[in-house]
A and B are shown apart, each in its own frame.
Chain A
Amino acid sequence: MKNKKLTVVILLVVALLIAIVPLFVLKGAEFGGSDDAGSVAISEITGTEYEPWFTPVMETWIHGEIPGEVESLLFCVQTGIGVGIMAFIMGRFVERTKQEKLRKAS
């Protein structure tokens, strides 16, 4: 059990480091999406600026690009839904395990 705890902590730290270190090491980097890099590669290969033939439905509905802040809101909603479900289920599991242990003890 003790061993497992240590593993969890170490793994979390490693994951965090991998995610955060580039931010500090590559000062001044743009951190744009690799999507944009993809479209650059397309224009390099075809030799012309690529014109997408279909615009995202959301952009058609609101006649323009989704504002950056709203986009981050929507991404947070996505994260929130996911985290909510995970936390709810995990909470139930944790509580159940606790109850089972109590019942066994009594």
Chain B
Amino acid sequence: MNFRQKMILTASIAMAFVFGITPVTNAMHIMEGYLPPAFSIAWGAICIPFLAMGYFALKKTIENDRRSITLIAMAGAFIFVVSSLKIPSVTGSCSHMTGTGLGAILLGASSVSILGIIVLIFQAVLLAHGGLTTLGANTFSMAIAGPLVSFGLYKLCTKLKVNKYVSVFLAASFGDLFTYCVTSLQLALAYPSQVGGVQVSAAKFLAVFAPTQLPLAIIEGILSVLVIIGLETYAASELRGIGFLKVGEQ
């Protein structure tokens, strides 16, 4: 990396700031009080084993190589940045990305649940965005289901020997999209349509979320690839420490 590349990185960070300052409205996540109590508790309960797994996975990663803390912080910070940026989409409404795909690719799916819930609590308490009663459902969709898809897809792509950047892009994009599929399903389960039940209802919610999210999923894929490129250039030893790069691989 030379001076020009550094400039590009700096510029991209500055751009992240610019987007953060655009006027914001409520977008995505299931809103506070919009899930019946029984559903809130059920989704919360489902998350607990994943969170426990995530805690132990993170602990193990750190024990194996203490320097991996920097990468964990990086993945967490990426979720923080990306989930605060509300981006206008082709449907004329705004939504934001999840950012959990990158963490899932680097650290494994369960570890991201811990990072994701930190962001969700921050947004629920301070921003009235998402909510404490819907924390379980939102954690499941954004910090568990999405990362699982990202992780699985990335592993599959590596098995099939797809180009690494393409795999990262696909994994992050589909993880993001899947988050919204799960959100639609969660809403549909709580509000089944009177005619046709859960399926009709799910299709309806999906029709609201999916077109908005599609371009954002692409952006998320691109940003994840950029972070991976940056890390590969400057933090190859850390990436080897967590097993993202094989020993000897450039």
Residues in A lying within 8 Å of B, measured CB to CB: 4-5, 7-9, 11-12, 14-16, 18-20, 22-23, 25-26, 29-42, 44-47, 50, 52-59, 65-66, 68, 71-72, 74-76, 78-87, 89-90, 92-94, 96-97
Contact = CB atoms under 8 A, between A and B. Distances in A.
Contact of A89 (B73, B91, B165, B215): B73
Given A39-B31, A76-B21, A22 B90 contact: yes
A18 B1 contact: no
Contacts of B88: 19-20, 22-23, 26, 29, 31
Contacts of B83: 78
Contacts of A93: 70, 231, 234-235
B199 interface: no
Identify whether the interface residues of B are mostly helix, strand, loop, or mixed: helix
Contacts of A23: 88
Interface string B106-145: 0000000000000100111111100111000000000000
A8 B123 contact: no
Contacts of B16: 79, 83
Given A19-B19, A94-B234, A57 B127 contact: no
Nearest to B30: A38
Main secondary structure of the interface of A (DSSP, over half): helix
B73 A42 contact: no
A19 B32 CA distance: 27
B93 A31 contact: yes
Interface string B77-110: 1111111111111111111000000000000000
Contact of A72 (B23, B123, B225): B23
A31 to B, nearest CB: 5
Contacts of B226: 8, 11-12
Contacts, number: 231
A6 to B, nearest CB: 11
Given A7-B229, A86-B81, A97 B234 contact: yes
Contacts of A16: 15
A30 B92 contact: yes
A102 to B, nearest CB: 14
Contact of A4 (B90, B126, B213, B229): B229
Contacts of A59: 128
Interface stretch (B5-13, B48-56, B58-66, B147-155): B5-13
Contacts of B26: 32-33, 35-36
A40 B213 CA distance: 17
A53 B33 contact: yes
A41 B204 contact: yes
B98 to A, nearest CB: 13
B57 to A, nearest CB: 21
Nearest to B196: A45
Scoring B8, B17, B25, B191 by chain A CB atoms within 10 A of each residue's CB, the highest score goes to B25
B166 to A, nearest CB: 12
A70 to B, nearest CB: 10
A10 B201 CA distance: 39
